[in-house]
Amino acid sequence: MQNVAQVMDFNSIEEQPALKKRGRIQIDNVSLVFGTGKQANIAVQETSLDIEPGEFVCILGPSGCGKSTLLNSVAGYVTPTTGEVLVDGEPVVEPGPDRGMVFQQYSLLPWKTTFDNIALGPSLCGDVEATRTAEYFLDMVGLTKYRNHYPAELSGGMQQRVGIARALATNPSVLLMDEPFGALDAQTRLVMQESLLEVWSEFGTTVLFVTHDVDESVFLADRIIVMSASPGKVVAEFDNPLPRPRSPDMSTRKDYIEIKQKCLEVIRSESLRAFELQNA
């Protein structure tokens, strides 16, 4: 199997410091308000985050707290009401191939094969080696045998692996993932989390991963950002001390349990606060 540097026509990743340094996300005082006047809904309030190139950051929070909205502002699907988002110093104004997106719904093109779903992005971006690129990522997610299958012939986990390969195939500097494993059963989800970490350690891209699942955030992240609702904002941030490589048996470790407890405490006290506000 070739490595990324060979596919991207470099002699080695080390010779390409620019590749390693790509993927800084700066969210600068971003607010996102839907509607106006009495109907105004502050989905995200005055949020600032600085994410290092290559970092794996999870945004953790309950349903409706603005996680997808914040992620969509980095993707360029929504424009902040105030503040701005920069990726590698460039203001985000629209979606682009430098930001790969993986959604909870698999969102593959049903009339295209696994291979063609992955090759489409590179072709559209003018990658003259689109076939070779698609083959590399097909191999990376372990689906070479399924290259000619259509999405309907694949399990949910396989479809999501195609989604990840497709997102990476345009050589993005950041990978944005919105509850990508939320629709999978618990066993498949664990396998997918491990396989995502393998792909990430090989590809080295920045990952911004949204989830409402505390265990998922502790298993995956370097850093966990906790959001709370009404209005959606960051209420806590934890560096994850859990060493890498990660494995499922780490869930009984003292440091795993400690950081999980910290996240749960914040979420619980925020839920109580929201409950009191609703009943005030």
Ligand X SMILES: Nc1ncnc2c1ncn2[C@@H]1O[C@H](COP(=O)(O)OP(=O)(O)O)[C@@H](O)[C@H]1O
Separation of alpha carbons 140 and 111, rounded Å? 23
Is there binding between residue 217 and Mg ion (CB under 5 A)? no
CB of 207 to ligand X, least distance (A): 17
Contact positions with Mg ion (CB under 5 A) in 244-263: none
Q: Residue 142 binds which entry of ligand X, Mg ion, none, with Cβ cut-offs from 5 to 8 Å by kind?
A: none
Q: Residue 263 binds which entry of Mg ion, ligand X, none, with Cβ cut-offs from 5 to 8 Å by kind?
A: none
Stretch of residues binding Mg ion (CB under 5 A), selected from 63-71, 112-120, 212-220, 251-259: 63-71
Stretch of residues binding Mg ion (CB under 5 A), selected from 19-27, 37-45, 66-74, 109-117: 66-74
CA distances from 200 to 152, 187, 232, 238 (A): 26, 20, 28, 20
Q: Residue 111 binds which entry of ligand X, Mg ion, none, with Cβ cut-offs from 5 to 8 Å by kind?
A: none
Separation of alpha carbons 185 and 170, rounded Å? 29
Nearer to ligand X, 64 or 204 (CB): 64
Count CB atoms within 10 A of the CB of residue 42: 17
Is there binding between residue 68 and Mg ion (CB under 5 A)? yes
**C-alpha radius of gyration, the chain, whole number:** 19
CB of 140 to ligand X, least distance (A): 28
CB of 86 to ligand X, least distance (A): 20
C-alpha count within 13 angstroms, C-beta hemisphere, residue 178: 21
Binding site for ligand X (CB under 6 A): 34, 41, 43, 61, 63-69, 232
Nearer to ligand X, 80 or 151 (CB): 80
Closest residue to Mg ion: CB criterion: 68
Binding site for Mg ion (CB under 5 A): 68
